[in-house]
Structure 1
Amino acid sequence: MDTPSASFAPLVPGMVGMVLVGSSVTISHTLVDAPLFTAQAVRYAAAAVILLVMARLAGARMVWPRGREWLWLAGIAVTGLALFNVAVVRGVAHAEPAVVAVAVACAPVVLGVAGPLLERRRPSRQVLLAAPVVVAGAVLVEGTGRTDAVGVAWAALALGCEAAFTLLAVPVLRRHGSWGVSVHTVWLGGVMLAVLGWTVEGPSAARELSAAQWAAVGYLALLVTAVAFVLWYSTVRTVGAGRAGLLTGIAPLAAAAAGAVSGSGAPGRSVWLGIAVVIAGLVGGLRPRDVAAMDITDTDRQGAAARPSTSVRSR
C-alpha cells in the first residue's frame, strides 16, 4: 500500500464515491419488489463488463490473483457484496431501515481502529477522536427505529460486512490497485449472487424485472459499482483505511440530499444538525497534520526523528 497521505486531494475520489453510494438510496427503492439476488447478480455482472472496458481505456494494468489473494478477494465478495445484501434484506424484516443504516454508519469507528492495524501502523488519535463525531452526526441524519434482537444481530452483521469491504482489500491493493480489486471482487460477487438467485428465486426471475427496475440496475452497475468502487479503493490505497473510513459519513448526507431533491421533502432540524455534526467530524479528522502532530510511532518508523527538518507524509 502507498504511504498514507495527509493532503486533501487524495480524499476527493473517496468523497465522490460516497456521494454516489448515498445518492443510490432513492434509486434502490425501485428494486424493493424485485427479486433481490437476481437483480444484484445482473448489477454486478454488468459492472464487471463496464469495469473491464473502463480499465482498458484507462490503460490500467490488470493481473490475475494468486495464492492467498483469492481468499482476500473472495472474502470481499462474500462479505461486502453478497452477505451484506442478505443482512440488509433480512435486517429490515426485523427492524426499521434506520436501525440497519445507523449500524452501517458506525463503520468509521471500526475502520479507524482495525484499518491501521492491518496496515501495521498505530491508529491515528485524530481519526479516533473524529470517528465517533461522524457516527453521531450520521445517527442524527438517519434517525432511529424499532427493532428486536434478531434485527440487532442482522444490523451488526451488516456493519461487519461494510467494514470488511474495505479492510479485506488492504492486503491486495498494493499489487492489484483499485482497478484490479474492483474488477475481481465484482465478478466474484456476481457469480455468488447468481447462484443465490438461481437457487432462491429461480432461473426465470430476471423476467420479472420491469423497465424501471432494469434502469435502476443499470444506474447501480455503472455509477454505484463500477465508478464508486474504483474511486473508493483509490482513496483507501492512498490515505489508508482508517482515514478513508471517515468518508463513509458522507453517504447519509448524500442520501438526505437525494431524498430532498426527489420530492420527499426538506430535511428536518435533526437532519440539518446531523449534517453539521458530520461535517465538523470530517473537518477535524481529515485536516492535514504537521510533523509535530504526528504519532511518535509513525515518526520513528519513517526515520523522521533523526531528520527533524524533513517533511514526512503521515495519516
Structure 2
Amino acid sequence: MDTPSAPFAQLVPGMVGMALVGSSVTISHTLVDAPLFTAQAVRYAAATAILVVVAHLAGARPVWPRGREWLWLSGLAVTGLVLFNVAVVRGVAHAEPAVVAVAVACVPLVLGVVGPLLERRRPSRQVLLAAPVVMTGAVLVEGTGRTDAVGVAWAALALGCEAGFTLLAVPVLPRHTPWGVSVHATWLGGVLLAVLGATREGPSAARELSGAQWAAVGYLALMVTAVAFVLWYSTVRSVGAGRAGLLTGIAPLAAAAVGTVSGTGVPGPTVWLGIGVVIAGLIVGLRPRDVPAGELTDMDHLAPAGSPPASVRSE
C-alpha cells in the first residue's frame, strides 16, 4: 500500500508545472505585438537545446520515434505547442490573463474520461466527481472576467490544445519517458513554427523583438517549456492522465496571481470566487485514498511486463 505522502509527492512536479504554465499566460502578454511564429520558434529551439543538455547530465537517453509514434508526437507538437501558443498570445489581447488560463481548468473532465480509456482502464469515480466542480469554477471565471467573444473563442481553442498536449503523450510515454516526449515535442514544434515564421513573417523577423520580448521568450523557453514539460509528463506517467488532469486547475490561480503582481489584470470578486471553486474541486479529486492490497496504480497498466509497480519505479 502506498504511504499517505507518496501520492502527494507524485503530484508535486505536475503542480509546479501547471503553475509555470499559468504564469506563461501573463508573460505571453508581452508578445502580443511581436512576430508570433518567429518568437515561439526561437523559444522552442532554445528549449530543445536546454532539454538535450540537461537530459544528458541526468543520464536520460531519448530514443528516436518509430512508426505511429511520429503521428502521436507530431499531433502533440501541432496542438499543444503551435496552436496552444497562438491561442494564448492572441487570447490575452482580448481578455484578462485569468480568463484565458482558466480554460485550461476545464481539461479535467476531458482527461478524466478519455485519459483512462487510452490507458485501458475505467475512469476514476473520484476524478469524475471532482471534474465538474473544477469546471464550474472555470465557468464562473470565464463568464465574469474581462473578455469578449473573440477572447472566449481563443480560450476554447486553448482548452482543446491543452487536452491534446496530455492525451497525445499517453501512448508514447512508456517508451520515450518524460524526457524523450519533451525533447521530441519541442524540436518538432520548433521546426513547424520556424517554417511558419519564415513564410509569414520573413527570415529577419527576429530582429523586431524588443529587449522585454527577448526576456519573455527566454522565460518561456527555460521555465515554461524545458522545466514544465518534464515535470508535467513525470506526473502524468506516475499517476495517470485522469488524476493529473485535475492539476490544470492550478493554471488560472497562477495566472491571476502573476497578473495581479504585474498589473496586467487584477481579477474581480466573482473571478476569485470561481478560483475558490476550482481549489475545492482539486481538494475533492486529489485527496489521498487508501489503495487496497493488490490494486494497481494507474500507470501499472502501461508498464512493460516484469517491471515493478509505479509506486516503486523511479524517474
> Which TM-score band (shorter chain)?
0.7 to 0.9
Q: Give deviations 1:233-272, integer Å, cap 9, x for gaps.
A: 0000100001000000001001111122224576532233
Say whether 1:276 aligns with 2:261: no
Q: Could you tell me how far apart the structure 1 residues matched to 2:37 and 2:114 are?
A: 30
Query: Please, what TM-score do these two structures have when normalized by structure 2?
Result: 0.84
Name which of structure 1's ranges 27-36 and 189-198 shifts more when overlaid on structure 2.
27-36
Contact kept? 1:141, 1:256, Cα under 8 Å: no
Q: Give deviations 1:185-210, integer Å, cap 9, x for gaps.
A: 00000000000011111111100001
Query: Please, what TM-score do these two structures have when normalized by structure 1?
Result: 0.84
Amino acid at match of 1:179: W
Q: Could you tell me how far apart the structure 1 residues matched to 2:137 and 2:226 are?
A: 28
Name which of structure 1's ranges 10-19 and 270-279 shifts more when overlaid on structure 2.
270-279
Amino acid at match of 2:225: T
**Residue 204 of structure 2: aligned partner:** 204
Amino acid at match of 2:212: A
Gaps of 5+ in 2: 302-308
Deviation at 1:155, TM superposition (A): 4.4
Contact kept? 2:102, 2:251, Cα under 8 Å: no
Deviation at 1:64, TM superposition (A): 1.1
**Residue 82 of structure 2: aligned partner:** 82
Contact kept? 2:105, 2:250, Cα under 8 Å: no
**Residue 192 of structure 1: aligned partner:** 192
For the structure 1 residues 206 and 265, does the alpha-carbon distance in structure 2 shift closer, same or farther, using more than 3 Å as the test?
closer
Amino acid at match of 1:43: R
Amino acid at match of 2:27: I
Deviation at 1:117, TM superposition (A): 0.5
Aligned-residue CA RMSD (Å): 2.9
Partner SS state of residue 9, structure 1: helix
Alignment of 1:255-274 (within 5 A): 255-263=255-263, 267-274=267-274
**Residue 114 of structure 1: aligned partner:** 114
**Residue 305 of structure 1: aligned partner:** none
**Residue 164 of structure 1: aligned partner:** 164
Amino acid at match of 1:213: Q
Match for residue 148 of structure 2 among 140, 146, 149: 146
Contact kept? 2:32, 2:89, Cα under 8 Å: no
Contact kept? 2:239, 2:297, Cα under 8 Å: no
Name which of structure 1's ranges 130-139 and 231-240 shifts more when overlaid on structure 2.
130-139
Q: Could you tell me how far apart the structure 2 residues matched to 1:124 and 1:156 are?
A: 25
For the structure 1 residues 56 and 220, does the alpha-carbon distance in structure 2 shift closer, same or farther, using more than 3 Å as the test?
same
Contact kept? 1:37, 1:193, Cα under 8 Å: yes
Gaps of 5+ in 1: 303-310
Partner SS state of residue 10, structure 1: helix
Q: Could you tell me how far apart the structure 1 residues matched to 2:137 and 2:207 are?
A: 41
Q: Could you tell me how far apart the structure 1 residues matched to 2:59 and 2:34 are?
A: 36
Q: Could you tell me how far apart the structure 1 residues matched to 2:236 and 2:297 are?
A: 18
For the structure 1 residues 140 and 171, does the alpha-carbon distance in structure 2 shift closer, same or farther, using more than 3 Å as the test?
same
Deviation at 1:87, TM superposition (A): 3.9
